[in-house]
Structure 1
């Protein structure tokens, strides 16, 4: 599913604006409005949008001060949450079913950059382990992404 549609469905009260942003500020969250720089690539727009929505969902207060440990923790939480918006296990299954198994193919399929795929895989490895079942699929994330449909007898 398109990331913008996914996030719109998850947070219908949010308004997304793609505009020319000030230099050095590619994304901004202000209450129920999220602003993303229209000059960056579509992949980067998707990633910025996911992170700003994640801030909306997980951040409390102003976290501009990166020297504050609470701000750093909230930033990390928002980035982890953003990764789950960008790459779901269902997305990985869809890629597998479509024959997209290489890193660049996954990134192109999901319209995000390769590093976000790697971040998502690391997140799922830490959360679910190297090997796990999800729906009717077996995931092996030991070295790469290996997904196999579980055969039913």
Structure 2
């Protein structure tokens, strides 16, 4: 079972319907409204996985109509939903696991974690803003500056 299928199961258990949908705009990857998530039907599985994770984040963290991104409150809710998706699909432990698996670059990490490179890069940027230079997790230090790297502590 891939990550997308696992997320569909999570949605089902939360009474959230997930629908494949043909959006008119190429800019829309997914939308959440009142217990229904619509995912753009013509995306790859990793793209759908990333979109579904973010929309589940909206289900769990957002309140009301947040389409107006000129509102600071709405931008904050959007950031929270994205962070929720990053933590669900990647997380610090996911970066450590990719390192232990022998992943050498962002392409390999994204493939290992079943996410897009774009989603991974956005996650790293978000973590860089949240944690700064690095963050220790268990016996590892995950560095975000100058680039993503993981160091195992002895």
TM-score, scaled to structure 2 = 0.81
Change (3 A) 1:133 1:10: farther
Q: How does 1:2-151 map to 2 (within 5 A)?
A: 2=3, 4-5=5-6, 8-9=9-10, 12-24=13-25, 25-151=28-154
Root mean square deviation, CA, Å: 2.5
Q: Distance in 2 between the 1:101 and 1:11 partners?
A: 35
Instruction: Show CA shifts across 1:77-111 (max 9, x none).
Output: 22232222221111111111111120111111122
Task: List alignment gaps of at least 5 residues for structure 2.
Answer: none
Moved more, 87-96 or 133-142: 133-142
Change (3 A) 1:124 1:10: farther
Aligned residues: 151
Q: Distance in 2 between the 1:99 and 1:114 partners?
A: 17
Instruction: Show CA shifts across 1:91-135 (max 9, x none).
Output: 111111111120111111122221221221122222223133201
Q: Distance in 2 between the 1:69 and 1:124 partners?
A: 20
Q: Distance in 2 between the 1:83 and 1:6 partners?
A: 13
The answer (yes or no) to whether the contact 2:62–2:77 under 8 Å persists in 1 is: yes
Residue 7 (structure 1) shift:
7.2
TM-score, scaled to structure 1 = 0.82
Residue 146 (structure 1) shift:
1.6
